[in-house]
Structure 1
Amino acid sequence: MHRLIGYLLALCCISSLAYGETLENIQHALAKQSLVTGHFEQTRNIPALSRPLKSSGQFYIVKNRALLWDQQQPFAQQSLLTESAIYQGQNGQLSQRDTGSAQMSQYFSQLLVDIFSGDFTGLSEQFDIEQTATTTANWQLNLSPQQAPLKQIFSQISLRGKQGVVEHIRLVEQRGDQTDIVLRMATPALPLPTFLKQVLVSD
């Protein structure tokens, strides 16, 4: 679960995306977003389990500053990445994790923060990116990892959107696990939790 926190919820607020637009257009649109918030529903299918694992909650991304994954169901759990640390806990009572033990979570979380900041330089170094668009209201990006550690974990990451908003993310792992995340953007943005504001001030 901790590893999946970091994948949340990339490219959630792309604006004015039309057929034939380039990655540069997407990058410029992302760079305009200073705060992205919303609700998520996550379903993870593991071949060894007869039923999928489901979770839901809210997410908050502050450009160049922080990424909060606030899971509310089936149990409360919060994971927060800032520029300098990783925090985890419940009900706003978060404690800092050792970055060594959470290196993979930090790596992927930072990757998503970069995407929301419109920084595609690192993304293109890590992935082969295929863009697909069928109509002006529908588009898809398929990301294929080029090298370790991403290539050791994922076979592909897909992002699908409609009318300028990312609605779905699919993570396909090498071992056969598949995670689908449905995103619903909040307009206006959800208010930042008090503990997140405090972390941003002190970080």
Structure 2
Amino acid sequence: MIRFIAVLLMCCAGTPVWAEMRFSEVAPALGAAWLEGRFEQHKTIVGLPLPLHSSGTFYVQDNQLRWLTQAPMQSELHFSSQGISQWQKGEQIWQMTAQQQPVVATISQLMLAMMAGQWSSLDQAFQVQTFEQGEGGCWSLVVVSKDALLSRVVEQLHVAGCERVTRIALHEVSGTVTALSLSSLVQGEP
């Protein structure tokens, strides 16, 4: 579970030199920021016959993302500029700080920016590889990381929606795919 979250936070990888589009250029199509919602997660791991499923809620408050898994077991992750921590039954059971692992702070900030719809802040770390607008305001994009270290772990991040982000799929170099479906989104400014 911890490895999945760390990889999920890394988001994207392998930026081609020719990619020039920025998140801020496509931000108007992506919709307003959202502060809370529900998620369904399906993780397909190479070598396992069935995908792993989890679900829960998330919310952004006080510049922190809280990811609350409700099934198959209850767990809570906190993402902030200081790092990542995991909580169960109100007690912190794991923490990785920016001082312990500087890349954790970057990953945590990127996850917070993605979930809060802070698209312009993602320009520093990611490049939009493809962007397609469909009918009815629907769109999809593929992004890759500008960071060579992240590109060793994650191949691409696919993001799609209509008026707001509703699907995120993380494609790892190993072949593992983590797909998130987001619903019941409450919009606003973080």
Higher strand share: 2
Q: Quickly say closer, same or farther: Cα 1:77–1:166, change in 2 above 3 A.
A: same
Q: Which residue type is aligned with residue 138 of structure 2?
A: N
Change in CA separation of 1:3 and 1:96 when aligned onto 2, cut-off 3 Å: closer
Runs of 4+ aligned structure 1 residues displaced above 6 Å come to none
Q: Hey, what's the Cα distance between the residues in 1 that align with 2:55 and 2:185?
A: 15
In structure 2, list runs of 5 or more residues that go unmatched: 12-23
1:71-150 to structure 2, matched below 5 A, reads 71-95=69-93, 97-99=95-97, 104-115=103-114, 116=116, 118=118, 120-121=120-121, 123-129=122-128, 130-150=130-150
Tell me, in whole angstroms, the C-alpha distance in 2 between the residues paired with 1:102 and 1:26: 34
Aligned pairs for 1:154-193 (under 5 A) are 154-162=154-162, 164-187=163-186
What is the deviation of 1:138?
A: 0.9
Q: Cα offset for 1:36?
A: 0.9
**Structure 2 CA distance for partners of 1:105 and 1:5, relative to 1, 3 Å:** farther
Residue type of the partner of 1:112? M
Which residue identity is paired with 1:173?
E
Aligned to 2:26: 23
Where 2:106 maps in the other structure, the secondary structure is: helix
Larger mean CA deviation between 170-179 and 89-98 belongs to 89-98
Code of the residue aligned with 1:91 in structure 2: it is: K
Percent of aligned pairs sharing the same letter: 26
Q: TM-score under structure 1 normalisation?
A: 0.71
How far apart are 1:168 and its partner, in Å? 0.6
Q: Distance in 2 between matches of 1:46 and 1:106?
A: 26
Report the Cα distance in structure 2 between the residues aligned to 1:143 and 1:188, rounded to whole angstroms: 23
Partners of 2:177 and 2:94 in 1: CA distance: 29
Q: Is 2:29–2:137's contact at 8 Å kept on the other side of the alignment? A: no
Deviation at 1:133, TM superposition (A): 0.8
Q: 1:149 to 1:185 in 2, by over 3 A?
A: farther
The size of the alignment, in residue pairs, is: 171
Root-mean-square deviation (Å): 2.9
Is the CA contact (8 Å cut-off) linking 1:3 and 1:104 kept in structure 2? Answer: no
Match of 2:48 in 1: 49
Contact 1:41/1:55 (CA < 8 Å) preserved in 2? yes
Please say if residues 159 and 166 of structure 1, whose CA atoms lie closer than 8 Å, have aligned partners that are also in contact.
yes
Q: State how far apart, in whole Å, the 2-side matches of 1:41 and 1:172 are.
A: 17
